[in-house]
Structure 1
Amino acid sequence: MLNNKTILITGGTGSLGKALTKTILEKWPTVKKLIIFSRDEQKQFQMAQEYPLFKYPQIRFFIGDVRDFERLRRAFKEVDFVIHAAAMKHVPIAEYNPMECIKTNINGAENVINAAIETGVSNVVALSTDKAAAPINLYGATKLASDKLFIAANNIKGDNPIRFSVVRYGNVMGSNGSVIPFFIEKRKDGKLPITVSDMTRFNITLEGGVEMVLNALESAWGGEIFVPKIPSYKITDIAKAIGPNCVQEVIGIRPGEKIHEEMITSSDSFFTYDLGKYYVILPQIPKWSLDEYIKKFSAIKVDQGFTYNSGTNSEWVSVEELRMLIKEHVDETFN
C-alpha cells in the first residue's frame, strides 16, 4: 500500500507518530518518503538520532506548525498520504488556554484540509478522541469540530478524488501525558492520586492505534469515523496494577473530566455500522452508494439508541492483564 508513496505525519514526533514511523519503515521498506512534520525541534533532533539519514534515507524532518497554512502547503507538495496527529490534547491546559487550543485543533484542521486539497494529496486520515463524543471540555469540543471539518471536507473538494476520514479511539496505553507513566512515577511516593473511584476509560495500545490508522488509509471511502472495539479498565484497577501497595488518594474530578468516556452516542447510532473489528460512523450524506458500502464491508446497522461507553462496555481488562500489558507495551522493566 505505501511502497513508492510519500507519507507525511503531522505531530510526527509524538507517541503515535513514532509508532507509525516504526511500523511503516518495517512493513513498507521501499516507501518513497516519510516526512515527520512537527514544531518541536528538540524532539525532532532526538528522533533523528534513532533514524539516522545514512540508514533511513526515506525520512525527512520538517519543522512547522499546523497553524501555519503556507508552511503546510509547502510540506504537502508531492505527498500522497497525510496522517494528521498534531493536536493540543491536555484537558486542564486547554481549559486554561482556550484560544491556543482552538488555533491548533480547529484552525489547524482547516489548514490541513485546504493544503491537502490544493497540493494533490490523495488521502488524509485525522486522529480524533473519545472526548469528541458528547464533549464536556474544550479539548473534546475542538476535536468534535475538527472531526466535523474533516468529514465535511469530502463535500467541498469538488471533483478532486481526495478522501478524508477520521479515526476515533480511547486512551493510548503509555502515550505522552497518559495515566500509566504518571502512576509509575508517582508510586515512588507510596500514594496514587485517584480522581473518582468509579472512573473508567477505554484502553488501546499504540500498536492498536497504528493498525487503525493504516486500516483507514487503505479502506476509507471518505467521510467515515472509525471506532475500534476495545476494552475498558477501572482507574482503581490501573492503580492496583501499578502500585499494589500504594494508598489510593481520592482527589476529586478535574475540570473538564468525565467519569466515563463515550465514543459513540445514541444520536450517532442512526449512522453507525458494525464492521466486525470496528464500528464506523458514516456521513449523513455520503458521496458514494450506501448499499455498495454495506455490501463491500458486510456492514451491519447497529440498533437505534446504541451507545459505546467505557462504563457500560462488555469487555474489561483485569488487574493482572493490565500488569502484563504495561510490561509488554509501556515499560519492559516494569514489575
Structure 2
Amino acid sequence: MLNGKSILITGGTGSFGKEFIQTVLQKYPQVKKIVVYSRDELKQFEMQHHTPYGNHVALRYFIGDVRDGERLKRACEGIDYIIHAAALKHVPVAEYNPMECIKTNVFGAENVINAALSLGVKKVVALSTDKAAAPINLYGATKLCSDKLFVAANNMKGNRELTFSVVRYGNVMGSRGSVIPFFLEKRKEGFLPITDSEMTRFNISLSEGVDLVLYALEKAIGGELYVPKIPSYRITEVAQAIAPSCEQRVVGIRPGEKLHEEMITETDSLNTIETERYFIIVPNLMQKSYQEIMEKYLAYYQAKPVEKGFAYSSGKNNDWLSVAQIRDLIKTHIDPDFQPL
C-alpha cells in the first residue's frame, strides 16, 4: 500500500509519529519518502541521531509549523498521503492559552486541508481524541472543529482523487504526559494522586493506534471517523498495578477533565455503523440523503448499524483490563523490566 508512496506526517517527532515511522519503514521497505514535519529542531535532531531508523534514506526532516500555510504547502510538494498528528493537546495549557490552541488545532487543520487540495495529495488521515466527543474543555472543542473541517473537506474536493478521514481514540498507553508514565515516576514519592476513585479511561497501545491509521489509509472512501473497539481500565486499578504499596490520595478532578472518556455520543450513534474491530461514524455529505449515505457505507464495510441510543464510554464498556493485564501491558509496551512496588 505504501511502497513507492511519499508520506508527510505533521507532528512527526511525537510519540505517535515515531511509532508510525518505525512501523512504515518495517512494513513497507520500498516507501519512497517520509517527511517529518514539526517545529522542534531538537526533537528532529534526536530522532535523526538517537533512533535506529533516524538516518533512513527515505526520511526527510522539515522544520515548520502547521500554522504556516505556505511552509506546509512547500513541504507537501510531491506528497501522496498526509497524516495529521500535530496538535496542542494539554488541557490546562489550552485553557490558559486559548488562542494558541485554536491557531494550531483549528487553523492548522485548515492549512493541512488547503495544502492537500492544492498539491495533488491523494489521502489525508487526521488524528482526533475522545475529548472531541461532547467537549467540555477548549482542547476538545478545537479538536471537534478540526474533525468537522476534515469531514467537510470531502465536499470541496471536486473531481480530485482525494479523501479526508479521521481516527479517534482515547488514552494511549505510554505516550508522553499520560497516566502510566506519570504514576511510574510519582510512585517514588510513596503516594499516587488519584483525581477520582470512579474515574475510567480507554486504553490503546501506540501500535494499535498506528494500525488504525493504516486501516484508514487503505479503506477510507471519504468522511469516515473511525473509533476502535478497545478495553477500559479504572484509574484505581492502574495505581494498584503499578504501586500496590503506595497510598492512593484523592486530589480531585481537574478543570475540563471528564470522569469517563467518551468516543461516540448517543447523538453520534444515529450515524454510526460497526464492524468486528471498529465503529465508524459516517459523514453527512451534502449531495446525498441520509439513507443513501448509510446504505453506501454499510455495504462498503459489510457493517451493521449500532443499536438506537448507543453510546461508547469508558465507564460503560464491556471490555475491562484487570490489574494483572495492566502489568503485562506495561512490560510489553513501556518497560520490560517493570516490577510493581
Asked if Structure 1 and Structure 2 have the same fold, meaning a TM-score greater than 0.5 normalized by the shorter chain, the answer is yes
Residue 320 (structure 1) aligned with residue 324 (structure 2): yes
- Correspondence 1:79-228 to 2 at 5 A: 79-228=79-228
Change (3 A) 1:55 1:108: closer
Q: What whole-Å deviation, never above 9, does each CA across 1:69-109 have from its counterpart, x for those lacking one?
A: 00100000000000000000011111111111101000100
1:55, distance to aligned residue in structure 2 (A):
5.4
Q: What whole-Å deviation, never above 9, does each CA across 1:149-187 have from its counterpart, x for those lacking one?
A: 000000012222210000000100000111111100000
Q: What whole-Å deviation, never above 9, does each CA across 1:15-52 have from its counterpart, x for those lacking one?
A: 00000001000000010001111011111000001457
Task: Tell me the SS of whatever aligns to 2:203.
Answer: strand
TM-score by length of 2: 0.96
Letter in 2 for 1:251: V
CA distance in 2, matches of 1:63, 1:163: 26
Letter in 1 for 2:329: L
Partner in structure 2 of residue 306 of structure 1: 310
CA distance in 1, matches of 2:186, 2:148: 38
Q: What whole-Å deviation, never above 9, does each CA across 1:272-331 have from its counterpart, x for those lacking one?
A: 001111000000227686334322311101112110000010100011100000110011
% same residue: 63
Letter in 2 for 1:16: F
Partner in structure 2 of residue 260 of structure 1: 260
Partner in structure 1 of residue 338 of structure 2: 334
Residue 273 (structure 1) aligned with residue 273 (structure 2): yes
1:144, distance to aligned residue in structure 2 (A):
0.4
Alpha-carbon contact 1:223-1:286 (below 8 Å) kept: no
Partner in structure 1 of residue 299 of structure 2: 295
Task: Tell me the SS of whatever aligns to 1:30.
Answer: coil
CA distance in 2, matches of 1:76, 1:287: 29
Partner in structure 2 of residue 239 of structure 1: 239
User: Structure 1 unaligned runs (5+)?
Assistant: none
Change (3 A) 1:246 1:225: same
Alpha-carbon contact 1:10-1:37 (below 8 Å) kept: yes
Alpha-carbon contact 1:154-1:287 (below 8 Å) kept: no
CA distance in 1, matches of 2:164, 2:287: 12
Alpha-carbon contact 1:150-1:165 (below 8 Å) kept: yes
4+ residue segments displaced more than 6 Å: none
Change (3 A) 1:247 1:275: same
Q: What whole-Å deviation, never above 9, does each CA across 1:178-208 have from its counterpart, x for those lacking one?
A: 1111100000001101101100001000011
Change (3 A) 1:120 1:204: same
Residue 229 (structure 1) aligned with residue 229 (structure 2): yes
Task: Tell me the SS of whatever aligns to 1:171.
Answer: coil
Task: Tell me the SS of whatever aligns to 1:77.
Answer: coil
CA distance in 2, matches of 1:234, 1:51: 33
Count of aligned residue pairs for this structure pair? 335
- Correspondence 1:27-66 to 2 at 5 A: 27-50=27-50, 56-66=56-66
Task: Tell me the SS of whatever aligns to 2:320.
Answer: coil
Alpha-carbon contact 1:224-1:282 (below 8 Å) kept: yes
